[in-house]
Each structure stands twice: as C-alpha cells, then as structure tokens.
Amino acid sequence: MDANTFIEEETKKLKEAIGEEKAIVALSGGVDSSVCAMLGYKAIGNRLECVFLDTGVMRENEGPDLKEIFAKVEIDLKIRDVRKEFFDALKGLTDPEEKRKAFRDTFFKTLRDAVKESNAKFMIQGTIKPDILETNKGVKTHHNPLEQVGLDPGKYKLTILEPVAELFKPGVREVGRALGLPEEISERMPFPGPGLMARCIGEVTPEKADILRKAHIVVEEEIKNARLKPFQAFAVLFEDRGTGIDKEGNRNFGNIIAVRVIDSKDAMEGTATDVPMPVLKKISERIVAEIPSVTRVLYEITGKPPATIEYI
Ligand code: XMP
C-alpha cells in the first residue's frame, strides 16, 4: 500500500459519500480516530465536526492535550463532558461483556446527542482490521464495527464510514505520518475505545479510574525513560486486595496493580516484553509512592494467545 495513494482514494470516497452533508468524528486520541479526523477534514473541511467524549475513563488531560494538537492543523476539537452518564451506566456492573455493552450503549447515546447538535448525517469511525477479525471470531464484543455487534446504524440515523477498516496498525501509522500527524499521535501506543475500563476489573468507579490514570502515567513514563518501544504498556487494577504497610507503619489492605507491557506487530498475537527488572522495580516504587491506596504491583507475563492484551 502506498500511503499517499491510500489518502487520495479514501478522501475521494469520503467526499463522494458525504456529498454536501456534515460528518462527525469521535476522537479518542488514538492514531485510528486521528487518521479518520485528518482524512475527513481533507475531504470536507469544516463540515467535519471533531468531538472528544470525556467518558471519565480516558488518560490524564487527554481532551485538552488533543485540542491543542489538533488546533495546530486547524481542527477545532469540541470536548463534551459525559463522565456522569458513563459512571452512572457502569454503576454496579462487574461482568466484562455487560460493562462493554453499557459502555457501547452510553457511547452511542452521548454521541447521538453530539450528532444531533452537529446535524451530521455521517460518522467516520476508526475501525481497523483486527477489530473486525476478532469480533468475527467472537473473541470480544468490540464496540467499533456497529453492524457486526447487531446495532442498526439506521436506528441512530447515521451512516458509518470506516476508511481504515482494511488496515492493520502499522498501516494506519504510515498513513498518519503521510497525513502529517505529529509523532506523539502517529507513533502513540494503541488505546482502546472503552479506555481505562478495559483495564479495570470489577465495577468501574471514578476513584478506580483515577488510580488507573495515575498508574498509567508512571508505566508510560518509565517505559519511555528506559527507551523501550513495546506495542503497548499500561496498568491494570485488580478487584482483589493485598496487605501492605503504609508510611506510618499501619497495615493497609490495599489495591493491586498489574503492569502489562507487550510486544506485538498488529495486536493479533503478542508476547510479554522483557522489561529489565530495575525498570519494573522503579515502576513499582513509583506507583506505591504516588498512589497510597496501592500496596502491590505485579508484572504480567502471559502472551496473546491465550490471554488478550486488555483485561476485559
Ligand atoms: P485485545 O484485548 O482484544 O486487544 O487483545 C487487541 C487490541 O485492541 C485494543 N482494544 C480495543 N480497541 N475498542 C478499541 O478501539 C475496544 O473495545 C478494544 N478492546 C481492545 C487493545 O488495546 C489492543 O491494542
């Protein structure tokens, strides 16, 4: 695939499909949706609305950071605070598929509100090939390929366009670079649509999301400091607890965090990265120091398969 030919062809297809109507892209901050935003903007300019839904399970400062990045390419990103809707919908849910379903339903409900306001008739979505392959295999109910999971886009009065659906991650990155996306986006680790929820076992609460956000920063920073370039690196929060001793010498039955660092080409298969022990220890020391409720940090060593990359 030649990235420039791909961009030309997909821009043309988007232009033809959308005509004189408006379209919307929900930006997650990942490379897939960012490429969609750039392609959409190239195709229809300001008739494209880019929206960031702050679901409460996104990375630290994600919305404002993205707004700044996209302002540089003249895209005015709108941030919608929908945290309450998401935490309400996820309240009491512990089953992974129920959580995913609640997330997906809330995502489309809140997106529908954004769509209504924008008058968009089309939504450009960053579905990529592994999303489709894995959904077909029944590995997981990804919220991306709408029709495959039995959601009728007609019900939402929206036509879904998926310009990168035939690409794997390396291809999307190549297109991102050719589109002039900054490196911090084009080379960014994948981040799932359902965000930190995919790394939160059990009920998802604002407090648990905060723990995951803080732990994620530590993992990302230390992996970067160690000049490692894994496919993904992140923190997972368990429901179980383990005893530790806090600074005052009191016993604390605290949270357990798992660190997941994985090498993979395209997310279909992967192996745990050989992260040097001193780096892992640094991660552990920082996490327990920066997040007092955490008493233990584990390193995950399972490959994919049999494990998936995310935890739910
Ligand atoms: P799994 O956990 O299935 O993940 O091995 C494979 C890749 O997909 C990402 N992922 C998702 N991406 N929506 C997304 O947009 C999702 O629901 C979702 N679930 C997993 C995951 O981060 C990994 O790169």
**Residue 143's pLDDT is what?**
47
Q: For position 133, what pLDDT does the model report?
A: 87
- Amino acid identity of residue 129, one-letter, is K
Task: Output the residue whose Cα is nearest ligand 1's atom 11.
Answer: 192
308 Cα nearest atom in ligand 1:
5
Q: Which atom of ligand 1 is nearest to the CA of 270?
A: 5
Give the whole-angstrom CA distance, residue 236 versus residue 239.
10
CA of 131 to the centre of ligand 1 (A): 7
Taking the C-alpha atoms of residue 55 and residue 99, their distance in angstroms, rounded to an integer, is 13
Query: Which residues lie across from 52 on neighbouring strands?
Result: 79
Ligand 1 residue neighbourhood (C-beta within 6 Å): 134, 140, 142-144, 190, 192-194, 198, 232, 267, 304, 308-310
Contact 221, 189 (CB under 8 A): no
Pocket test for ligand 1, best of 59, 103, 131 (most atoms within 8 A of CB): 131
Name which of 230, 244, 249, 252 is nearest 297 in CA terms: 244
pLDDT at residue 137, rounded to an integer: 72
The residue whose CB lies within 8 Å of the most ligand 1 atoms, and thus the one to mutate among 55, 309, 312, is 309
CA–centroid distance, residue 142 to ligand 1 (Å): 7
Residue 268 Cα to ligand 1 middle (Å): 10
Ligand 1, atom 12, lies closest to the CA of 192
d(CA 242, CA 179): 47
Q: Are 40 and 140 in contact (CB under 8 A)?
A: no
Q: What is the pLDDT of residue 294?
A: 97
| Nearest CA owner, ligand 1 atom 6 | 267
pLDDT at 1: 80
Q: What pLDDT shows up at residue 57?
A: 97
List of E strands, 129-229 = 159-161
Q: Dihedral (C-alpha) 27, 32, 38, 44: value to the nearest 10 degrees?
A: -80
Pocket test for ligand 1, best of 144, 164, 173, 310 (most atoms within 8 A of CB): 310
> Cα of 52 to ligand 1 centre, how many Å?
19
Quickly tell me which residue has 């648990």 as its tokens: 208
121 contact partners, CB below 8 Å, separation of at least 6: 18, 21, 22, 23, 157, 158, 159
- Give kind and range of the element (H or E) at residue 309: none
CA dihedral of residues 140, 144, 147, 148 (deg, nearest 10): -20
Q: Are 93 and 87 in contact (CB under 8 A)?
A: no
Q: Report the SS3 class of residue 200.
A: strand
CA–CA dist 122, 49 (Å, integer): 10
Mean pLDDT for back-to-back runs of 10 residues, the chain (312 residues):
95 98 92 96 97 96 94 94 98 97 92 89 92 74 51 68 94 95 90 94 98 98 98 97 92 97 94 98 98 97 97 96
Rounded distance from Cα 308 to ligand 1 centre (Å): 8
pLDDT at 154: 62
- CA of residue 309 to ligand 1 center, whole Å: 7
pLDDT of residue 29: 85
| Predicted local distance difference test score (pLDDT) of residue 260 | 98
- Cα of 122 to ligand 1 centre, how many Å? 24
Tokens of 223: 């992996």
Say which residues have a Cβ less than 8 Å from residue 272's Cβ, sequence separation at least 6.
Answer: 260, 261, 262, 263, 299, 300, 301, 302, 303
**SS3 at position 136:** helix
Q: What is the pLDDT of residue 266?
A: 84
Pairing of strands 251-263, 232-245: antiparallel
Q: Which amino acid is at 294?
A: V
Taking the alpha carbons of 178, 179, 185, 189 in that order, is the dihedral positive or negative?
negative
